Amino acid sequence: MATETLGHWIAFSQVPRLGAARFRLLETHFGGDMKRAWAAPMRELRAAGVGGAVAQAIAEVRQSLVPERELERLADAGVKAITWRDAIYPERLKQIADAPPVLYVRGSLSAEDETSVAVVGTRRPTDYGYRVTNDLCAALADHGVTVVSGLALGIDSRAHKSTLDAGGRTIAVLGNGLDSVYPRENLRLAERIVAEGGAVVSEFALGVRPEASNFPRRNRIISGMTLGTLITEAGETSGTRWTVYHALEQDREIFCVPGSIYSETSKLTNRLIREGAKLVNSVNDILVEIGLDATERQIPLELDRTAPRPSPSDDIAGNEFDITSVATPDNPVQWERLSVESADPEEADLLQHVTRNPVHIDDLVRVSAMPVTQVSSLLTMLELKGLVQQVGTMHYRLSG
């Protein structure tokens, strides 16, 4: 993609509430000329079908954001940007409904990465969890499978390290801009991933902090880039459930390592196996399902793809995020119930569609015209603020 055009893609990707669906509307209306779209008057933006509020958001952002300057910032940071029109953009990620129009990359993506498996789990694994993660990731690397994870402490970190130690490729997906690494303890690991031929990627622009609402969105990329997701160890309240939820929506495979019935950190994996996830006793159980081993193929169990959506009261940050770790003196965490005025504009827009009677998330997506990932992230934040509560599977109502 031409550098000048790329700058305008990057600029549009930073407009609030301009998700994948509205981005495609702009692409279609302006014939792919995003430079012309960036300069278009309000009436033409509305004619593209993005809605008045988003058209206004575009107008406001372009008053302060200069596309050419965004390219300079990326170059200074050693970060590349690719779009879903670029050949190097991950093909499987491109297939999901809410693929990010722009993906920021530090390091290198490869055609080899199309044969990839996500490996996720608890950030507080047992020795057993560490061992099975180490063994399975090393074996996946030996078979040329790229391992994708989230650079979190615990299982994620071990997945990346074990893959690198075995000489394999690994990709880390972050929930913040690539001018920083979260958690900070994994800075050297991130540098090693890049140095040894892998990549650290994010949909978030430079300067974006690791806010709690970013991580459920981040997890759809982890599952979306891959053929399937392997959970080696995770409890029922683990944020790993978000990755499972996205993988089911994307119709990707779920693999689980069984654990002790007495271990809290195996409650989720054991339940998912009971519901139809592929039980993993060896790496061949994974290879068979992703087509790398044609022998001893078994008929897979039909996975329950109506599994309950994870509750926002769970580890919402995608299996590593501690909300207190990003609080600052200027922005302290407030755990008490907040007022409606505490909702930001996007949260307030969604909140107007939530009533005292339970409403399904699909209905909220429809009436708000927001992508499902954005609605789920906003609901997460609204529940943390005490403004909404989840009542049953994927149903929400006003608190109080």
Candidate from 13-22, 206-215, 280-289, 325-334 with smallest mean pLDDT: 325-334
In this prediction, residue 356 has a pLDDT band, given cuts at 50, 70 and 90, of confident
When comparing pLDDT for 363 and 1, which is higher? 363
- Residue indicated by tokens 């952002």: 61
Please compute the mean of the pLDDT values over residues 297-303 and round it to a whole number. 38
Token pair of 272, please? 């998912």
- Per-residue model confidence as pLDDT tens digits over 224-276: 999 999 999 999 988 899 999 999 999 999 999 999 999 999 999 999 999 99
- 3-class SS of residue 125: coil
When comparing pLDDT for 172 and 292, which is higher? 172
Residue type, 378: L
When comparing pLDDT for 5 and 85, which is higher? 85
Please compute the mean of the pLDDT values over residues 357-364 and round it to a whole number. 85
- 3-class SS of residue 228: strand
In this prediction, residue 17 has a pLDDT band, given cuts at 50, 70 and 90, of confident
Please compute the mean of the pLDDT values over residues 295-316 and round it to a whole number. 42
Please compute the mean of the pLDDT values over residues 42-46 and round it to a whole number. 94
Token pair of 348, please? 């307030």
Enclosing H/E stretch for 32: none
Please compute the mean of the pLDDT values over residues 161-189 and round it to a whole number. 97
Bridge-based pairing state of the strands 116-120 and 228-231 = parallel
CA-to-CA distance for 215 and 237, rounded, in angstroms?
Answer: 15
SS3 per residue for 314-345: CCCCCCCCCHHHHCECCECCCCCCCCHHHCCH
From residue 69, alpha-carbon distances to 7, 84, 150 in Å are: 8, 21, 29
In this prediction, residue 56 has a pLDDT band, given cuts at 50, 70 and 90, of very high
When comparing pLDDT for 312 and 225, which is higher? 225
Average pLDDT of the chain?
Answer: 86
pLDDT at site 377: 79
Please compute the mean of the pLDDT values over residues 11-29 and round it to a whole number. 92
When comparing pLDDT for 315 and 98, which is higher? 98
**Entry pTM:** 0.75
pLDDT at site 391: 74
In this prediction, residue 288 has a pLDDT band, given cuts at 50, 70 and 90, of very high
Q: Are 230 and 119 in contact (CB under 8 A)?
A: yes
In this prediction, residue 337 has a pLDDT band, given cuts at 50, 70 and 90, of very low
Token pair of 396, please? 């929400």
- Per-residue model confidence as pLDDT tens digits over 200-220: 999 999 999 999 889 989 999
Q: Are 75 and 7 in contact (CB under 8 A)?
A: no
